[in-house]
Amino acid sequence: MTDVEELRRQEYDARARVGRLRERAFEADEERDLAELVKAERELAALAARAAAARRADAVALDTKGPDRSLGPQTSGLEVTAKIRMSYLPTAFCHLLDVRTQPLVTVTLRRLGQRARRLRVTCAVDGYSAAAVETVELSESNERPWSADLLPTFFPAAVAAVTELTRATLSLQVEDLENGQTEVHRTVPLWLLARDTAPNHVIDPTDGTPVDLTRYLGAFVTPHARAVGDFTRVAADRHPERMLVGYQGSSAATEPQVRAVYQALTDLDLAYVNSVTAYHPEEVVASQRVRLPSETLSQRMMNCLDGTVLFASILENISLRSELVLVPGHAVVGWEAWPDLGEWAHLDTTVMGPDRYDSARQRGDQVVAAYGTPEAGELIRRWPVRELRVMGITPME
């Protein structure tokens, strides 16, 4: 058994143990000490990092004959290197990705001959995107390689139809603008993740490093969706004064509004359904299914992440500052008690039922306290929705 295989076996066993602990901690109907789970999560994270490093070492050894090889330099007079940066594309929020931080492909050109070259580089995902185009002049006096990151613009209707993991083709062309000749034309297969799949991270195939995408869960927070607006009216009826006013009056007025939202959701009798599996054939993406708030309200079922983005959507709709708190295998929602005080309260949306608001609050705060310590390491992600909007992460609907 190779080192990589042994590490993968250990990682598999560690994930199974963590899964059992998560089930006890987050799906049981009682309060539990999360210290054992946090310790196991840290051990798993360290083991996963070692396994990833071992896989990268193997990948580097094979790379000389892999996808980074030169594309026809003998005939084109060009050395062209194309590196796919995301082999799994998140269709849910691909329109929000920034080419500067999440490019789909990086292309590098180096002139081999003596003459200057005027070139056009084009890439597109056939049937799903427009073309991303870059032009460059490789002058006689410049011997340095030229490099560009490319990210095509995807057609909304096309990616909206991706309801399950789908194979697609990335097409790359390099054309000589002087004579109109195509110097390089290459196609590369890649995967499109289902529209309701939210990856926590994807692996950059060029170096094996994980790219954190958890911030894009903010796209699933949809305060202006019709169903969310209609439900907010229902929630207002559960408030003692039958109104939800956001940050008006004093800080004492904030929590009664949150409680009213919780009670209204309890009235819906939402079923907890742990339908989180998202299919992918390789260990290069960590993802799960997420329902849009409108879907959760219509289907009347949810998992922890569904409930978190739904609750955050309603809070944003009534002008309260919400946050998404993500820990391995679980999520809770938070809100700021009063603007700019930096005091946040939290609630676990999987704890639902009449007269259980205080338990849901206690569980939410407990999760944040357990994972927000130096001993827990980097296991927690806290994304205030207001900051995500400033980043340009807008609602999906």
205: in domain: no
Domain boundary among 64, 84, 115: 64
Q: Give me the DSSP letters along 197-252.
A: EEEEEEE-TTT--EEE-GGGGGGG--TTSHHHHHHHHHHHTTSTTS---SS-S-GG
Q: CA dist 38 to 172, 175, 262, Å?
A: 45, 53, 28
Q: Is residue 201 part of a domain?
A: no
- 189 shares its domain with 238: no
Q: Given the DSSP bridges, would you call strands 344-347 and 105-111 parallel, antiparallel or unpaired? A: unpaired
Query: How many domains, the chain?
Result: 3
Which is nearest to 378 in space by CA: 101, 38, 51, 52?
A: 38
In a domain, residue 151? The reply is yes
Beta pairing partners, 171: 124, 187
Q: Does residue 220 share a domain with residue 171?
A: no
- List Cβ neighbours of 330 (8 Å cut-off, separation of 6 or more): 22, 25, 26, 304, 367
**56 and 78 share one domain:** no
Q: Which of 195, 229, 260 is the last residue of a domain?
A: 195
Question: Is 396 a domain residue?
Answer: no
Overall pTM > 0.75: yes
CB 352 within 8 A of CB 270: yes
Element (H, E) at 135: strand 132-138
Asked whether residue 89 falls in the same domain as residue 235, the answer is no
* Closest C-alpha to 29, from 368, 350, 370, 367: 350
Q: Is a pLDDT exceeding 70 seen at residue 287? A: no
Same domain, yes or no: 50 and 97: no
Looking at the fold, whether 144 and 189 belong to one and the same domain comes out as yes
Determine phi and psi for 164, rounding to 5 degrees.
-150, 165
Task: Give per-residue pLDDT as tens, 359-396.
Answer: 999 999 999 999 988 777 788 999 999 999 999 999 99
Q: Which residue has the higher pLDDT, 118 or 113?
A: 118
Residues 348 and 224 in one domain: yes
Is residue 114 assigned to a domain? Answer: yes
Looking up residue 299, the CATH number of its domain turns out to be 3.10.620
Instruction: Answer yes or no: are the C-beta atoms of 384 and 323 closer than 8 Å.
Output: yes
286 and 326 in a single domain? The answer is yes
Together in a domain, 130 and 53 = no
Q: Which residue has the tokens 């009347």?
A: 300
Backbone angles phi, psi at 20, to 5 degrees: -65, -40
119 and 229 co-located in one domain = no
Cβ atoms within 10 Å of 334's Cβ, excluding its own: 24
> Would you state the pLDDT for residue 199?
81
Q: Is residue 267 part of a domain?
A: yes
Give yes or no for residue 72 having a pLDDT over 60. Answer: no
The answer to whether residues 120 and 56 belong to one domain is no
Q: C-alpha 42: how far from its chain's center?
A: 21
- What is the CATH number for 179? 2.60.40.10
pLDDT, one tens digit per residue, over 322-333 is 999 999 888 999
Domain that holds residue 152: 67-195
Q: Are residues 98 and 141 in the same domain?
A: yes
pLDDT tops 90 at residue 65 = no
